Structure 1
Amino acid sequence: MARPVSSARDSGQPDGGGCCGGAGVRGGGPAGCGAPGNAAPRSGDRDAPAVRARTARIAAAGAGGAGPGGALDGADSGRGAGAAAGGAAASSSAAGADPSRPVDAGRTGDVPGPRGAPRSGAGRSGTAPAVADEASRRPGGLLPAGLLGVLRPVLRRIACAARHGAGPAAALQPDALRSPRGAVGDGPRVRGRARRGVRLRPDRSEGISSADRVMSDLLWHLDGVMLRGVGRDRLAAVDLDIRAGVTAVVGCSGAGKTSLLNLLAGYERPDRGRVERIIGGEGMDVFWAPCDDGLWPHLTARQHLEAVAPRGARVDETIETMSLGDVAEALPDRMSQGQRSRLAVARALTAAPRVLLFDEPFAHVDAAQAAAGWHAVQAHLARTGASMVYTTHDPSLVLGFADRAVCLEDGRIVRDGDVDELYWRPDCERTMWLLGEGNWIDDDAADTWLDGGDGAPRGCRRPEQVRIEPRAESPIVVRAARFSGRITQADLYHEQRDRTRTFYHRPSADGLSTGMRVVLRLVILLLSAAAPMASLAGCGAAADAGPEPRRLDYWRIPPEGASIPAPRSVAIGPADEVVVLDNAGRLLIYDATGAHQHTWWMPDNSAGNPEGACWLRDGRIAVADTHYHQVVFFDDTGRVATTLGGPGEGEPGTFGFPVSIVEDDDGNLFVAEYGGGDRVQKFDREGRFLLAFGGVGTGPGHFQRAGGMVWREGRLFVADTTNHRVQIFDGKGDYLGMLGDDAIRFRFPYDVDVDSDGRAYVIEWGAGRLAILDADGALLGRFGSAGAGRGQFRTPWGVAVDRQGRVRVADTENRRVVSMVF
């Protein structure tokens, strides 16, 4: 039965100690240097030792300003541990920036403080004590993100300069910034020391101009990087380019994921090789959320966000999105680990940098909260166009969010590239497992286990590509079958060869039982063509460039358990409501503005999920329950009213795999199906069979994988997916022609809709784009490309147009619904 549901410290002592202690995080200037400290004791003083330990690894956020190619390099960068690596230090490089260039003290004064705080700093106060004292007078004693990380080493030197005689009247020139190692200046004797200091000047790397960096999508370039460890190198011979978009760094524990992120953030320097950061433009470059969260122990959750929020940021909204309302006024030591993890991510999103660095985000968060958090990150990226690099060992988090993946093993990159390519075509079994369950088929496995093994393809076969079916005379016997939701793990025994092996496959409707005799077959899926088709589409996309939407919005898919499901279909209701089918077996009802109203469930989805829906004129919603070979009708309360059809071998009124359903002007229903008998059947409003047309083939009126349909003005448009076309029929099933002319070739059209003016919208699954044609079938243009950014789609399955001309697209692999107005 469907389930209708409506949706809904420290001790006061500043950080550090001694002459060169760290700048006070709360209160006065550097400890031990004579600068005043005014931090009031808090109720958390009894936890002071633990808090001081956390304070020692406080993460600092970086502020923008130095421009592209700026370098953060040196021994002091390790002590400026931080939540963000800022634009003032826009490149971590072992070599390349001119070591003779002095620290630009004037620039440090331009790093913004918290909202409402004075913006004075080193360049404006004019004296070292003034800098420290200015920090003590900030609201709450706060050092903002940029100052804390980038200026901590500078403030140490300023403090020591005051103690060692620079005096209150000494101007903050580079040669006045003293440390026990001497002045940081321009002289040849200190150039070597400057290499170990903080550089805020742009890195003038050979061969790449600053302008080129700004225009490039290259974010980081690593060349021959090595990072030493205990027993073995943490990173070895790493050559890598990281580009704009979403990149996942994936690997087992100890693979080197955190070490790589530390280098990107500038927290560590390579022992060999070069790390160059190439990020330009205005505002903050990078914000880093390290694995230990890097929170400021003296700030509440709200103050964390306010400290980094640009003007106009919606702090309260972020607090609500991350479910931090209960701890908004609490300090980190009064939060759970999961709350601290969510706060670290919330702070990074609020800072609105151009690049987010996340080290295992939400690792300590429960499944439901983690799913909501990931959705918030995804929505932020789509809204702002920011890039993200994150580490994970969870394949679902790679497949669900990343454009590219970097696979690490024992400190070495074993593979990097497009996620779809790595998922479907890994080059070895170890790489296969980094992106999820799979079956590695070599010659021996093919000969032993596969039906028709001689001609079977070798290499990785994912669960979607393996089918295990009953066969009475087979020598292969099921010893155990464990169902885990989307896949089944089957332990098989080959009687003739006395061998066992585990295979992973998608469950069938019949299921497997112990003792059942079975055969294994490999199936060729449309999914396996996604990467090359997207690539082909990109080659000619410019020629088909069409109108840009006047408005582009993204709707969230509510989490289900530990994951954010993927939408598969969209349909429009009588008041322009939208029903979305997802791969969790749910019907999601949204109003016309995108507000989620209700969630209903299919009776069962263990064998597979539905692919098409139609909101009927009588108020019912008809759903093509694909893998259960039927149509399910829901009433307006979300309860199953009745069903139509059942499994069959082509008999009238039975279905193979029904994928879409539409209603004509008289209330008759058309149901499209695939799976051996590709056809369309027509039923009257009472569910009585009327006629069928189609069949498997490439000629006119035949289908290969019939898809979405729409009925408009006496004509039925059917997406003929694998034949790369949309065919048109009348109400009797007579073939009328094709949508568009011979020059228009769609790339795996999955769905089609037609608006009130006769314009047709075809969603191209294989190209990640939307084709728009006028009422005469002439191509007006195409919008979108394959990807996860704004204005991009990844394997979109459905499209629908409401009465106001708003186009809704099920952007399947991006796990969102896209709403557009052209």
Structure 2
Amino acid sequence: MCLDGAGAPRLTDVCVEILDGVTAVLGPSGSGKTSLLNLLIGFEAPDRGTCTASPTAGGQALAAYWVPQNFGLWPHLTAREHLRAVMPGAETDGAARIEHVLAAFDIGEKAASHTGEMSHGERARLAVARALASSAAVLIMDEPLASVDPARCGAYWRVIRSELRSTGASLVFSTHAPDVVLAEAEHVLCVTDGKLLYAGAVQDLYWRPPSEVLARCLGEANWLTCDEVALWLGMNAIPGSSCLGNGEAAARRPEPPEGRVDLTDAAPRQPARTRALQFGLSTKLGAPASSRALGLNISTDPEAGTTSPPPPGSVAPVRSAAFTRSGETLSVCLRPEQVEICRVEHSSLVVRSSQFRGAVADVELEHRETGQVRVFHHRPAGPGLAPGHCVTIRTLLSFLLLFCGAGLSTSCDRSDTPRLGVRESHAWPVPSDGTRIPAVRGIALSADGTEIFTIDTAARLLVLDRNGTLLRQWRMPESKAGTPEDLTVLRDGCVAVPDTHYHRVVVFDRNGVLRRQFGTYGTGPGQFVYPVSLAEDDKGNLYVCEYGGNDRIQKFAPDGKLLAAFGGFGTKPGEFQRPAGIVWHAGKVYVADSTNHRIQAFTDSGAFVGVLEVPGAPAGLQFPYDITIDAHQTLLVAEWGAGRVSRLGLDGRLLGRFGSPGTDMDQFLTPWGLACDGTSRILVADTGNRRIVELRL
């Protein structure tokens, strides 16, 4: 399908099918987003090709409703009359709903005002409110809320989400903001210079982009060839391969994993399962017969049928992360949250500059030996790197280590892997912090299990009831340098937080009043580099994990006196690489030795007991980030790299597993912490999905 313009085409060779749900049309100004929406609603017709857009209303009053860029408001009507004019049943029982929708968009006080008496932002909100009031089957919005105060946009998007859930409507909206796409959309169309570069799932494009250009459509990305992986990360990305792509090494190069698109020598695979958003057309190949008919099909060929293939660059919805091949080059995309840049005493990598931008920091690094310079994007808890610092780069991705021959098992469980018997699950989103939706990291329960304590990437300690309702909150004393990763509810009801980037442990009462703190920066007795997790024994002694080159456990008496220290940095038994979680039980301390992918046991005096493993039956842990013990005296482990929760016996025997990487209810993205009560309840800090998940066994 083509749409001509003055001097240059506005859209060229666009072939796409819009899917049921929420779809974002993403691109810079002038890219063709508005032109595509104009075709979708029927405001314009293509100059070549076909555009079939005939959604059926079903139970809704209207098939589709449009919010154009100029809002399309009626100057002779008041705000209240705008909603009354489109709302089904407004004359009989719509008065209360009209007032509710106006109030939700903070224009209740303007209900009797005409549009000429409203600000630009108020008119933008009224246009969206009117569309929602229409109860149309499909809402089409051209950059909704773009002119609204950013600090308030998050609340209005929550209203939109709530209305879509209650009515079952679909939404197609245009935007130039990747963060809005990530937060609100299931599917995305990337448009640039009138051409459609990508059509597919948002999560696929974010985690498994087919190219560097497409990767950057959804924000910052570290795109590395295998040579660059070897140089900057200090590892051979593909054993036995060469980035030059010639000769025997190239012949041995592994094929991309299932679902990965090779743009140079294969047509893109179609998704195995989709629900077509059909505007009166047949469903896509493989869609269930019961799929809801709500879609758009555009073709370059006037004779084309209704099942045109997706455009080049689309990818099948696969779950596992993978390297991408384009031509003879193998590359990997690492998002900022998958990279950790840590300060060390000596390294080949030196910081030239660091710009902290809140959610992401841009760090310019120089490689001493080669003189090469490049910028890495990472997501630190706060500013902390300065020019001249020596650093190392850690990738928090199990798939990268798999390609490096680290000997890990794959994230695909075998059919004989025991399952954790989860009978139901629930999820709660993390409460917003202004326009931000922080990610939850640490999670703990009160002694009676009635209150849930969490800490997030906004340095907030949140206390929720057992149903996920926010009861109270407070912030860490300082957070400019970074935010903590864990917290523990102590026997006396106080809350202890390893304040990672301030090299101390902070203790609050249950209401957030600061009670005490201890620790300073250093590697000596009682000092910390990066304290990250802690546990308490039956006598009130605290065991604190730390990493940062001084990876060890320190034991403190209730009065803060240092009693013991054990461990050290390394891979040998009794040594650690980022001890990330710890729990005490019956005279022993169990430590989640994250980067060594194992659990180690010590006596509570610090004597090494052993690595938990059963000969011939390894648990195959992938970045265990937290550990706790349940009422059955078995260990529960949150595996950051595998997106799952595993149950182990005290001997290391695998007893059950639940989850895989992803965004569905039975999946997790980089789970950071977990907690359990004395019943059959497990709570998981599903960090990458920005939610708390409750599992009932």
TM-score, structure 1 length as denominator? 0.59
In the superposition, relative to structure 1, how do residues 622 and 740 fare at CA in structure 2: closer, same or farther (>3 Å)?
A: farther
In the superposition, relative to structure 1, how do residues 676 and 476 fare at CA in structure 2: closer, same or farther (>3 Å)?
A: closer
Paired residue type of 1:436: G
Q: Report how far residue 614 of structure 1 moved.
A: 0.8
C-alpha distance in 2 between matches for 1:548 and 1:280? 39
C-alpha distance in 2 between matches for 1:530 and 1:314? 55
Deviations 1:470-523 (A, max 9, x none): 999999996x7654324455789999999998776667988566xx5466x661
C-alpha distance in 1 between matches for 2:531 and 2:210? 36
| Aligned position for 1:374 | 157
| Aligned position for 1:660 | 533
C-alpha distance in 2 between matches for 1:624 and 1:679? 14
Contact 2:587 2:603 in 1 (8 A): yes
User: What pairs with 1:405-804 in structure 2 (closer than 5 Å)?
Assistant: 405-415=188-198, 419=202, 422-423=205-206, 430-437=213-220, 465=339, 467=341, 482-488=355-361, 511=384, 517=388, 523-526=393-396, 529=399, 537=411, 547-550=421-424, 552-560=426-434, 562-575=435-448, 576-649=450-523, 651-697=524-570, 701-733=574-606, 734-735=608-609, 738=612, 742=617, 744-758=619-633, 760-771=635-646, 782-803=657-678
In the superposition, relative to structure 1, how do residues 809 and 266 fare at CA in structure 2: closer, same or farther (>3 Å)?
A: farther
| Aligned position for 1:112 | none
Paired residue type of 1:260: L
In the superposition, relative to structure 1, how do residues 536 and 639 fare at CA in structure 2: closer, same or farther (>3 Å)?
A: same
| Aligned position for 1:69 | none
Pairing 1:259–2:35 present: yes
| Aligned position for 1:233 | 9
In the superposition, relative to structure 1, how do residues 473 and 749 fare at CA in structure 2: closer, same or farther (>3 Å)?
A: closer
Contact 1:661 1:672 in 2 (8 A): yes
C-alpha distance in 1 between matches for 2:154 and 2:385? 31
User: What pairs with 1:188-337 in structure 2 (closer than 5 Å)?
Assistant: 225-240=1-16, 242-243=18-19, 247-265=23-41, 268-274=44-50, 283=59, 290-292=67-69, 293=71, 297=77, 300=80, 303=84, 307=88, 315=97, 322-327=105-110, 335-337=118-120
Paired residue type of 2:14: V
Paired residue type of 1:571: A
| Aligned position for 1:218 | none
Deviations 1:147-205 (A, max 9, x none): xxxxxxxxxxxxxxxxxxxxxxxxxxxxxxxxxxxxxxxxxxxxxxxxxxxxxxxxxxx
SS at match of 1:362: coil
Q: Which has the larger radius of gyration?
A: 1
Deviations 1:669-688 (A, max 9, x none): 12223333433322221222
Q: Report how far residue 466 of structure 1 moved.
A: 7.8
C-alpha distance in 2 between matches for 1:281 and 1:792? 34
Contact 2:398 2:623 in 1 (8 A): no
SS at match of 1:236: coil
Contact 2:598 2:611 in 1 (8 A): no
Contact 2:591 2:600 in 1 (8 A): yes
Contact 2:78 2:113 in 1 (8 A): no
Deviations 1:15-39 (A, max 9, x none): xxxxxxxxxxxxxxxxxxxxxxxxx
Paired residue type of 1:554: W
In the superposition, relative to structure 1, how do residues 760 and 359 fare at CA in structure 2: closer, same or farther (>3 Å)?
A: farther
SS at match of 1:407: strand
In the superposition, relative to structure 1, how do residues 698 and 807 fare at CA in structure 2: closer, same or farther (>3 Å)?
A: same
Q: Report how far residue 659 of structure 1 moved.
A: 2.1
SS at match of 1:227: coil
C-alpha distance in 2 between matches for 1:291 and 1:523? 46
C-alpha distance in 1 between matches for 2:349 and 2:51? 56
Q: Report how far residue 691 of structure 1 moved.
A: 2.4
Q: Report how far residue 408 of structure 1 moved.
A: 2.1
C-alpha distance in 2 between matches for 1:387 and 1:748? 38
SS at match of 1:633: strand
| Aligned position for 1:364 | 147
Paired residue type of 1:809: V
SS at match of 2:144: coil
SS at match of 2:156: helix
Contact 2:528 2:546 in 1 (8 A): yes
C-alpha distance in 2 between matches for 1:583 and 1:366? 23
Q: Report how far residue 348 of structure 1 moved.
A: 6.0
SS at match of 1:523: strand
Q: Report how far residue 612 of structure 1 moved.
A: 0.3
SS at match of 2:5: coil
C-alpha distance in 2 between matches for 1:716 and 1:542? 30
**Structure 1: tracts of 5 or more residues without a match:** 1-224
Structure with a larger share of its residues in helix: 1
C-alpha distance in 2 between matches for 1:531 and 1:357? 43
Q: Report how far residue 622 of structure 1 moved.
A: 1.1
C-alpha distance in 2 between matches for 1:341 and 1:794? 35
In the superposition, relative to structure 1, how do residues 333 and 452 fare at CA in structure 2: closer, same or farther (>3 Å)?
A: same
Contact 1:476 1:494 in 2 (8 A): yes
In the superposition, relative to structure 1, how do residues 266 and 794 fare at CA in structure 2: closer, same or farther (>3 Å)?
A: farther
Contact 2:83 2:134 in 1 (8 A): no
C-alpha distance in 2 between matches for 1:770 and 1:432? 29
Deviates more, 1:615-624 or 1:728-737: 728-737
Contact 1:236 1:412 in 2 (8 A): yes
Deviates more, 1:378-387 or 1:750-759: 378-387
Deviations 1:728-750 (A, max 9, x none): 54433443663889364344333
Contact 1:308 1:350 in 2 (8 A): no
Deviates more, 1:338-347 or 1:503-512: 503-512
C-alpha distance in 1 between matches for 2:653 and 2:413? 21
Paired residue type of 1:641: R
C-alpha distance in 1 between matches for 2:344 and 2:441? 29
Q: What RMSD over aligned residues (CA atoms) do the two structures have, in Å?
A: 5.2
C-alpha distance in 1 between matches for 2:502 and 2:179? 26
Paired residue type of 1:228: D
In the superposition, relative to structure 1, how do residues 371 and 446 fare at CA in structure 2: closer, same or farther (>3 Å)?
A: same
Paired residue type of 1:622: A
SS at match of 2:520: coil
Deviations 1:676-709 (A, max 9, x none): 3433322221222222334445565444432233
TM-score, structure 2 length as denominator? 0.68
Contact 1:371 1:559 in 2 (8 A): no
Q: Report how far residue 654 of structure 1 moved.
A: 2.6
Q: Report how far residue 358 of structure 1 moved.
A: 4.5
Tell me the number of residue pairs that the alignment of Structure 1 and Structure 2 aligns: 590
Q: Report how far residue 277 of structure 1 moved.
A: 7.6
Query: Please, which of 682, 688, 691 is the counterpart of residue 813 of structure 1?
Result: 688
SS at match of 2:2: strand
In the superposition, relative to structure 1, how do residues 782 and 496 fare at CA in structure 2: closer, same or farther (>3 Å)?
A: closer
